[in-house]
Amino acid sequence: MIAFRAMAVGAAVLLAGCAVVPQVEQAPESVEVVQPVATQAPAPAPAPTPTPTPTGPGTFLFNGELTQGGWIRGQAPGGTVTARLGDQELALDDEGRFFAAFDRDAGGSAELVARLEDGREIRSPITVSPRAWDIEHINAARRPGGSSEAFMRRRQPELDAIWDARTANSDSDGWQQDFIWPVTGRISGRFGSQRVYRGEPGSYHSGLDIAPGAGVPFVAPADGVVTLAAYDPFSLEGHLIIIDHGAGLNSAFLHASQIFVTEGQRVEQGDRLGLIGATGRATGPHLHWSIKWHLARLDPLLFLGPMP
């Protein structure tokens, strides 16, 4: 009996050792689902604006007559804000082109100066060659000068009108053209000629005299605007016409017997201006043609080709 009970206990132990314990399934972890919220993407930062590269040459470009009474046409460096020849400011067109000139008594050197947008300056020196002027030495005293008060009362309004016409600064691009002869004929006086009276210099001749004969028509050497037409003869110049070619350049035509243009009129190269005469202070019929750039007096022959 005891033995049986022992066997029964051993069998129970064996069964307990072979029992299969079922695995307990773990509950899956809970996952929170969040819906995306629409947001506006930040605007990209603007790219820096590149500094524009100035168009045009890196220095002054010019050509012309580099001599006393001469002139140049040229183009300023790219990015130029202002430019000058010496102390005289230059008028620049949209492409930086300009006109400049040298007085009859200009020194041997001049300088073009440009101020650029970035603050830099570009300088270009110019050598101005001297001229051998026609100088006549007279062994006699110069006549005493001076004008009467009555003459100056008449003369001063004429000088004021000439000044205003010479400084009108009209909108014209005639300065860009190659000038033509206003009339052809015998040259009776040259620019720059001068008399010296016992060492005292007199006034030099300020223009070119052409004497084709009385009544011959003369024409505009280049485009421009008529800034003075003296229908009432001036005391010295007679019937006088002044044409502004722009950029500070202008022409004056003296001693006409008749005038065909009016003040404010635009003329083109080759348009008739008037007839040759001897009005004013003249010894005979001729055209006195003078050219100025601002205050500088220039030689008309240096603007022309050979006489046709």
Q: pLDDT band for 145, please (50, 70, 90 cuts).
A: low
pLDDT tens per residue across span 194-204: 999 998 999 99
Measure the CA–CA gap between 284 and 14, rounded to whole angstroms: 159
Return the higher-pLDDT residue of 264 and 141: 264
Greater model confidence, 23 or 35: 35
Q: Is the pLDDT of residue 3 over 70?
A: no
| CATH code where residue 73 lies | 2.60.40
Range of the domain at 256: 135-141+148-303
C-alpha to C-alpha distance for 90 and 176, rounded to whole angstroms: 14
- The verdict on residue 93 lying in a domain is yes
Report pLDDT for 45. Answer: 65
Residue 293 lies in a domain: yes
Predicted confidence at residue 161, as pLDDT, reads 98
In the numeric block, which tokens belong to residue 202? 């007199």
Whether 219 maps to a domain, the answer reads yes
- What value does the mean pLDDT of the chain take? 88
CA 86, chain centre distance (Å) = 15
* Same-domain pairing of 208 and 157: yes
Q: How confident is the model at residue 147 (pLDDT cuts 50, 70, 90)?
A: confident
Are the C-beta atoms of residues 291 and 300 closer than 8 Å to each other?
A: yes
Q: Tell me the mean pLDDT in the region 295-303.
A: 98
* 248 and 294 together in one domain: yes
Q: How many CA atoms lie within 13 A of 298 on its CB side?
A: 26
What is the separation, in whole angstroms, between the first and last Cα of the chain?
164
Q: Classify residue 294: in a domain, yes or no.
A: yes
Query: How many residues are listed for the chain in this entry?
Result: 308
Query: Rg of the chain over CA atoms, in angstroms?
Result: 45
pLDDT at 228: 98
Q: Give the CATH number of the domain where residue 262 resides.
A: 2.70.70.10
Residue 81 and residue 189 in one domain: no
Domain count, the chain: 2
SS3 for the chain is CHHHHHHHHHHHHHHHHCCCCCCCCCCCCCCCCCCCCCCCCCCCCCCCCCCCCCCCCCCCEEEECCECCCEEEEECCCCEEEEEECCEECCCCCCCEEEEECCCCCCCEEEEEEEECCCCEEEEEEECECCCCCEEEECCCCCCCCCCHHHHHHHHHHHHHHHHHHCCCCCCCHHHCCCCCCCCCEEEECCCCEEEECCEECCCCCCEEEECCCCCEEECCCCEEEEEECCCCECCCEEEEEEEEECCEEEEEEEECEECCCCCCEECCCCEEEECECCCCCCCCEEEEEEEECCEEECHHHHCCCCC
- Say if residue 96 is in the same domain as residue 216: no
Half-sphere exposure for 119 (CA within 13 Å, toward CB): 0
Report pTM.
0.81
Residues 161, 118, single domain; the answer is no
217 and 113 assigned to the same domain: no
Distance CA 210, CA 188 (A): 6
pLDDT for residue 173: 97
Residues 178 and 298 in one domain: yes
Q: For 264-285, how does the pLDDT look when each residue is reduced to its tens digit (9 = 90+)?
A: 999 999 999 999 999 999 999 9
pLDDT tens-digit map of 51-105: 556 678 999 999 999 999 999 999 999 999 999 999 999 999 999 999 999 999 9
pLDDT above 60 (res 15): no
- pLDDT tens digits, one per residue of 219-254: 999 999 999 999 999 999 999 999 999 999 999 999
pLDDT above 90 for 2: no
